């Protein structure tokens, strides 16, 4: 398993264990001549490293983290 895929899985598991629903994806950037290698970007729907929605007991709904912070 490559490092980017491992990071993706660990990030999702970390936030899932804490009750948050995050979406993390790998984006292949292809070969970069200045770097002399291929690059893979890890992208997520988090803002400043924090999840934007909390998973609820029901799978079909989520709470916005901003609504939680305002209470």
| Range in 18-32, 38-52, 53-67 the model is least confident about | 53-67
Extract the tokens encoding 18: 């804490």
Q: Give the model's confidence band at 61: pLDDT under 50 very low, under 70 low, under 90 confident, else very high.
A: very low
Burial of residue 66 (CB within 10 Å: 0-12, 13-18, 19+) is exposed
Structure confidence at residue 29 (pLDDT): 83
Give the three-state DSSP class for 46.
Answer: coil
Structure confidence at residue 57 (pLDDT): 60
């Amino acid at each position: 398993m490559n490092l980017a895929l491992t990071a993706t899985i660990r990030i999702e598991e970390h936030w899932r264990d804490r009750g948050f629903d995050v979406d993390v994806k790998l984006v292949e950037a292809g070969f970069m001549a200045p770097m002399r290698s291929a690059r893979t970007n890890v992208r997520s729907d988090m803002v400043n490293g924090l999840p934007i929605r909390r998973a609820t007991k029901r799978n079909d709904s989520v709470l916005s983290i901003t609504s939680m912070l305002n209470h």
